[in-house]
Amino acid sequence: MDELSIASLDRIGYSYVEEGNPALRDISLEVRRGEWLALLGGNGSGKSTLAKHLNALLAPMQGACFISGMDSRDERNLWEIRKTISMVFQNPENQIVSTVVEDDTAFGPENLGLPPDEIENRVKKALDIAGLSDKAKSASYTLSGGQKQRLAIAGAIAMEPPCIVLDEPTAMLDPQGRGEVMALLEELHGHGITIIHITHRLEEIRKATRAVVLQAGRLIWDGLPEDLFKEPELTSWGLELPPIVSFWRRLRERGLCEDDVILTVEGLVNRLCR
Ligand SMILES: Nc1ncnc2c1ncn2[C@@H]1O[C@H](COP(=O)(O)OP(=O)(O)OP(=O)(O)O)[C@@H](O)[C@H]1O
Ligand SMILES: [Mg+2]
């Protein structure tokens, strides 16, 4: 394992039930520091099960999972693994633990047993990055869905982990909330945080540096997001093309567009009016 690797999965397998289909089969994956990895797949393909291996909520039944070199099967590593990789889940409501925004963000650092001024600094910084500084004293329940999810992300980054795993963080949000969360992911990536972003919305992978696809518990594709959009089999993997990309693919089939994927209305209009 090289030292740039933050997570290293070596042929892992996992089953919830003794008989029947395993949730994960023979998955090998190396996630390097600084990557923004989009983890895609249809319903039930194993995305959340894989995510739970990354912060040792589950241990592999076959193979091994190393986080910053620490074997997740060794219980003595759990604490350090969870400091290395923070998790953010789908439903922001379930992740808020305090009635006041800044107390909620302080929850993680307090559990780390940090001194009060260090906690205060971290909370300030995390709320600032999440764009919630002006809400620090507000009641958590008054926030919008997008703001609540940004609060959950602020709580995760206040732990100052090198890596954050987000399991469909936009699934329960309206378009505005989704936009806010995606902008925040870009900001985090700019701060050097490794991002593992689980989604089944292909329009959310544009800024990722790498994409992998799971199908029926297997890792079936690994490459650059722009190449994934060209993949002919995509829709049979339970993934839906954004309308613009679908349009671009049809035009490309007829020789009306070049090979470079077009992802925005603006880009398509520019191409067609040229
Ligand atoms: N607690 C559980 N007990 C039994 N089977 C489970 C459990 N959790 C998940 N599974 C099964 O394991 C497989 C993978 O599920 P997982 O939740 O990892 O998929 P997913 O890709 O996250 O799906 P979704 O897009 O619906 O979130 C599915 O077949 C699912 O039914
Ligand atoms: Mg899931």
Domain with 148 in it: what CATH number?
Answer: 3.40.50.300
Residue 142 lies in a domain: yes
Distance in angstroms between the alpha carbons of the first and the last residue of the chain: 49
The one-digit pLDDT tens for each residue of the chain (274 residues) are 567 899 999 999 999 998 778 999 999 999 999 999 999 999 999 999 999 999 999 999 999 999 999 999 999 999 999 999 999 999 989 899 999 999 999 999 999 999 999 999 999 999 999 999 999 999 999 999 999 999 999 999 999 999 999 999 999 999 999 999 999 999 999 999 999 999 988 999 999 999 999 999 999 999 999 999 989 899 899 998 989 989 998 988 898 888 788 888 898 888 888 7
196: nearest Cα among 61, 37, 84, 90: 37
Is residue 259 situated within a structural domain? no
For residue 218, the cross-strand partners are 215
The count of structural domains within the chain is 1
253 in a domain, yes or no?
no
Identify whether 87 is part of a domain: yes
For 113: left if phi > 0, alpha if psi spans -120 to 50, otherwise beta; the answer is left
Closest-lying ligand 1 atom to the alpha carbon of residue 217: 14
Q: Give residue 15 CA to ligand 1 midpoint distance, Å.
A: 10
Supply φ then ψ for residue 60, to 5 degrees.
-65, 145
Q: Report whether 224 contacts 246 (CB < 8 A).
A: no
Domain of residue 37, residue span: 5-225
pTM given for the model: 0.94
Ligand 1 pocket check for 147: Cβ under 6 Å: no
Separation of CA 133 and ligand 2 centre (Å): 31
